[in-house]
Amino acid sequence: MTTSAPGEPSSPDGISRRAALGILGAGTAGAGFAAGAATTASLAQSASTDGDPRDAYPFYGEHQAGITTPVQDRLHFAAFDLTSTADRDGLIQLLKDWTDAAAAMTQGRDVGRGAVDGNPLLPPDDTGEAVGLPPSGLTITIGFGPSLFDDRFGLADRKPADLEPLPLFAFDLLQEPISGGDLCVQACAHDPQVAVHAIRNLTRIAFGTARIRWSQLGFGRTSSTSTGQATARNLFGFKDGTANLKSEEPAAVDEFVWVGDADQEWMTGGTYLVTRKIVMTIENWDRVQLAEQEDIVGRSKGEGAPLTGSAEFDEPDFDLGTTDGTKVIPVDAHVRLAHPTTTGTRILRRGYNFVDGSNELGQLAAGLFFISMQRSPEQFSAVQRSLATDALNEYIRHVSSAVFAVPPGASDGSYVGAPLFD
Amino acid sequence: MTTSAPGEPSSPDGISRRAALGILGAGTAGAGFAAGAATTASLAQSASTDGDPRDAYPFYGEHQAGITTPVQDRLHFAAFDLTSTADRDGLIQLLKDWTDAAAAMTQGRDVGRGAVDGNPLLPPDDTGEAVGLPPSGLTITIGFGPSLFDDRFGLADRKPADLEPLPLFAFDLLQEPISGGDLCVQACAHDPQVAVHAIRNLTRIAFGTARIRWSQLGFGRTSSTSTGQATARNLFGFKDGTANLKSEEPAAVDEFVWVGDADQEWMTGGTYLVTRKIVMTIENWDRVQLAEQEDIVGRSKGEGAPLTGSAEFDEPDFDLGTTDGTKVIPVDAHVRLAHPTTTGTRILRRGYNFVDGSNELGQLAAGLFFISMQRSPEQFSAVQRSLATDALNEYIRHVSSAVFAVPPGASDGSYVGAPLFD
């Protein structure tokens, strides 16, 4: 057992990172002060990007981890389709097997009998590339796509009314092979090798039942979900997600993230996960003058302050006008159109930068793999409709779209999604 | 000025990471001991994978950084072709501009006037996504491909005899669009956002003169170049590069890495860089029984010990036989065929794992982006010829190949490759 507060990571020795820092502060009085202070700063700096390798988040709980968990810096996301031979029992077994494997890997343990401890005349249960690596803050979040609720698995009458493919939005250029999916797994960790190991082993477990439809790696979280995290920058070079929902706002999280009085009881305590792969034409962006970049975003590039303020967290004044009769924050500025006062709603963003190498023009194939969590996909849709006139649209292309129902967390001994099959 | 030993990273406050740990040890006697010990362990653990974000390696020096530098955990590698309108002066200007930008970025500074400090009516000099991030151990290593020495830039008579495209090896399935290149830039860092920022800005600087031919991201260094680094694991789940050249063997590094009495004087103090993108058919591998995996590699999967020993760094006994007349380390085991006693030479490996998402079969598009440094490409070729009968060949495909002459380091005020144009 650990002494961590809920939602706080524990380390294998039972001392949470926050507690360790507290102890360090107490222990550095006197002669050790200078060294202690330097070390505290180093840890804090490290935590702002990579986190502590010893972080281990519980897999079992009321909600799945990887939603309000402070955003880890690396992502491997995979969407799966069930195979043509899979049936309801196979789906249930897959979810049980995934639950067991996820519960092990998130605590820094190998899958099953491990990579080296089994029968040498059998293939190992675990693929082995994470042997010796710490838990690294790994979370594994499992979701169900709309297509899972067709007539294949007897789930048609359990489909939530909210779980429909997203509508087509302005400027959408979606590619079907990298959109949608029956199931999804989001693996986030401080170390990409740990995230990749998780997706690889869950994919291996699914062999014969489900296979990857598409997948995406990401880095450099572009949102914070905790006030303890500095705001990160997207590949336009701007701070992103300043006004994001934070886990320290429990009332707002309850209002905007967790499903409450659902039409489908099995979704109570769950959420809806939206992914959008957004290609950025960064070569074009990089030729835009600084002042215009700031007008398009509506914030300063350095501090990230709204153009009507001087500090990042200053509230934007959307009414403030200039002497020539326009608004200081232009009417088509991203910050205006994405702001809760415009959209009327809030979402929990959890996206990542991506670079998929380069394209045939020698340009970086780069952008934002947008992820948001909300109690209804309609919240995302309201934001996306508002962005139809966003000046940023000239520099981005939405090329994939998916939505998944993320069921509540499982209790130890059960499995993720069990109430769906009751 | 810092107090770092040569080759040791410095932090902006002039205290090297090693020195900081030393101070910490001294400062934690008495009441603070327990907390201090935990923190030291945490830092050491972090350093074994991600390194200290404050690491800043000098860009200028006798040799380029990113060769014997302790391998950072993330890679962005790009090969460039000069455009049809580029001339000799343009090439020289590009190398000067790259040198200036690399010298800034490796110290944690923005390119040119920075992302936000220039004229607001001009595009910023720096793209901005690394603003606020520490140096993160960034190194930038520049090389020249064989094609640079054709008749375009007046360099034909400066071509080293060693700089020829690699021959075709057994089982090569090379793809031309992701092989070769006039120039290369290897960016390694603890933070992928820092490595990506470097390649992006160097690509931007090259606009009109050179463009990316191909690029590759990697993570999870599969080699160590320092005895202070734990051996990492490749995507077969095995420790890789145990017998790699280490920077703590200066005589061996001089013998096998740095060009000495070259036919082209400008390469003295340089090295040759070979890249090979090696796709691993990991789904097939994962179905191989543990004992056979270990026979193929010639090492145990857990400890990484040779099959004739019990600890990772035990010397393999290639002569030891079994009672049935075969060898304990099979004749086609990877460790036997790659070992210096078999190949007659050594190379400095600096490769990375990669996952480029998934392919149309739902398999992970994964493998090893192999990088090696050696005083002659013939050293790599000797190793690769030896691997023609490697049992691992059933599970790997070499799909790209490149070789670059890496000139020595530049002195402050000059630029990388200057002696080539004297």
- A125 and chain B: CB distance < 8 Å anywhere? no
Regions of chain A where pLDDT drops below 50: 1-8, 10-49
Give the amino acid at A163: L
DSSP string, A98-139: HHHHHHHHTTTPPSTTTTTSS-TTS--SS--TTTT---TT-E
Helix B17-27, helix A33-49: angle, nearest 10: 130
Window B:5-34, CB contacts with A under 8 Å: 13, 15, 20, 23-24, 26-29, 31-34
ipTM exceeding cut-off 0.90 for this assembly: no
**Nearest CA among B291, B292, B306 for reference residue B243:** B306
Question: Rounded to 5, what percent of chain B is helix, strand, coil?
Answer: 30, 20, 50
User: What token pair was written down for B7?
Assistant: 């080759």
Which pLDDT score is estimated for A19?
31
Q: Do A32 and B32 touch (CB under 8 A)?
A: yes
User: What token pair was written down for A169?
Assistant: 């939005």
B63 CA to chain A: closest CA distance, Å? 28
Instruction: Please give the span between the terminal C-alpha atoms of chain A, in angstroms, as a whole number.
Output: 31
C-beta separation of B112 from B118 below 8 A: yes
Q: Is the pLDDT of residue B16 over 60?
A: no
Give the amino acid at B212: I
For β-strands A271-280 and A364-374, DSSP reports them as antiparallel
Q: Do A302 and B215 touch (CB under 8 A)?
A: no
Backbone angles phi, psi at B401, to 5 degrees: -150, 140
- What CA–CA distance (Å, rounded) separates B414 from A346? 53
**Length of chain A in terms of residues written:** 422
Give the amino acid at A340: P
Cβ contacts of B104 within 8 Å, gap of 6 or more: B110, B111, B112
C-beta separation of B162 from B264 below 8 A: no
Average pLDDT estimate for B290-308? 97
Distances (CA, A) of B219 to A171, A309, B75, B368: 34, 39, 6, 10
Q: Chain B interface, mutation test: which of A10, A215, A284, A292, most B Cβ atoms within 10 Å? A: A215
Cβ contacts of B176 within 8 Å, gap of 6 or more: none
- What CA–CA distance (Å, rounded) separates A217 from A136? 16
Any idea what DSSP says for residue B397?
E
C-beta separation of B257 from B374 below 8 A: yes
DSSP run (H or E) holding A36: helix A33-49
In chain B, which residue's Cα lies nearest the Cα of A363? B212
A contacts of B137 (beta carbons < 8 Å): none
Q: Chain A interface, mutation test: which of B126, B200, B211, B360, most A Cβ atoms within 10 Å? A: B200
User: What token pair was written down for B196?
Assistant: 């990506």
Average pLDDT estimate for B144-153? 97
A27 CA to chain B: closest CA distance, Å? 4
Which pLDDT score is estimated for A303?
95
Instruction: Please give the span between the terminal C-alpha atoms of chain B, in angstroms, as a whole number.
Output: 31
Residue among B34, B53, B203 minimizing CB distance to A49? B53
The predicted model scores a pTM of 0.89
Cβ contacts of A135 within 8 Å, gap of 6 or more: A12, A53, A54, A55, A56, A57, A106, A107, A108, A194
Q: Chain A interface, mutation test: which of B182, B233, B307, most A Cβ atoms within 10 Å? A: B233
Q: How far is CA B399 from the centre of its chain?
A: 18
Any idea what DSSP says for residue B388?
G
Alpha helices in A138-232 (DSSP H): 192-205
DSSP string, B250-310: HHHHHHHTS--S-SSGGGTT-EEEEEEEEEE-HHHHTTS-HHHHHHHHTB-SSS--BTT-S
Alpha helices in A273-409 (DSSP H): 282-285, 290-297, 334-338, 340-343, 377-386
Q: Do B34 and A27 touch (CB under 8 A)?
A: yes
DSSP string, B201-265: HHHHHTTTTEEEEEEEEEEEES--SSTTSPP-B-TTSSB--TT---TT-HHHHHHHTS--S-SSG
Cβ contacts of B45 within 8 Å, gap of 6 or more: A53, A54, A134
- What CA–CA distance (Å, rounded) separates A80 from A187? 14
The band of B23, judged by pLDDT with boundaries at 50, 70 and 90, is very low
Q: Burial, A94: exposed, middle or buried (Cβ in 10 Å; 0-12, 13-18, 19+)?
A: buried
For β-strands B352-358 and A396-406, DSSP reports them as unpaired
Alpha helices in B106-152 (DSSP H): none
Alpha helices in B147-191 (DSSP H): none
Which pLDDT score is estimated for A50?
54
Which pLDDT score is estimated for B48?
39
C-beta separation of B47 from B20 below 8 A: no
- What CA–CA distance (Å, rounded) separates B184 from B403? 9
Q: Chain A interface, mutation test: which of B13, B21, B43, B49, most A Cβ atoms within 10 Å? A: B49
B120 CA to chain A: closest CA distance, Å? 5
Q: Is the pLDDT of residue B13 over 50?
A: no
Task: Compute the half-sphere exposure of residue B37: CA atoms within 13 Å on the CB side of its CA.
Answer: 7
Average pLDDT estimate for B239-252? 91
C-beta separation of A366 from A356 below 8 A: yes
C-beta separation of B97 from B142 below 8 A: no
Backbone angles phi, psi at A125, to 5 degrees: -70, -30
Backbone angles phi, psi at A48, to 5 degrees: -70, -20
A322-336, B22-36, B55-69, B370-384: range with lowest mean pLDDT: B22-36
Q: Do B42 and A53 touch (CB under 8 A)?
A: yes
Distances (CA, A) of A42 to A36, A38, B16, B23: 10, 6, 12, 14
Which pLDDT score is estimated for A417?
98
User: What token pair was written down for B205?
Assistant: 């600087």
Q: Do B357 and A27 touch (CB under 8 A)?
A: no
- What CA–CA distance (Å, rounded) separates A193 from A376? 32
